[in-house]
Amino acid sequence: MPDLIDRAQTLKMAELRARHPRKPAPPPVTGLCLFCAEPLADGRRWCSVECRDDWERLDGELRRQGL
């Protein structure tokens, strides 16, 4: 049976995980903009800041929906 110290440690770890969730790995470089499919030749993932922001917004929404 867990004692008081074990329960406190479990609660502390849950608190730390909630404050600092793990970030997913960055998407792979494909040679195309991940949002608009514009060809890229220099190892970038997005062709512009706008495409990056739109992709991150869409990706976040899909993650929240569990997709």
pLDDT tier, 1 (very low <50, low <70, confident <90, very high otherwise)? low
Q: What is the pLDDT of residues 27-56, one digit of tens each?
A: 899 999 999 999 998 999 999 999 999 999
Maximum Cα–Cα distance for the chain, whole Å? Answer: 59
Output 18 or 61, whichever has higher pLDDT: 61
H helices of 1-67, in order, are: 4-19, 49-64
Judge if pTM exceeds 0.85.
no
Q: What is the CA radius of gyration of the chain?
A: 19
- Where do we find the tokens 């329960």? 7
Give the mean pLDDT of the chain: 86
* Helices and strands in the chain: count of H runs, count of E runs: 2, 0
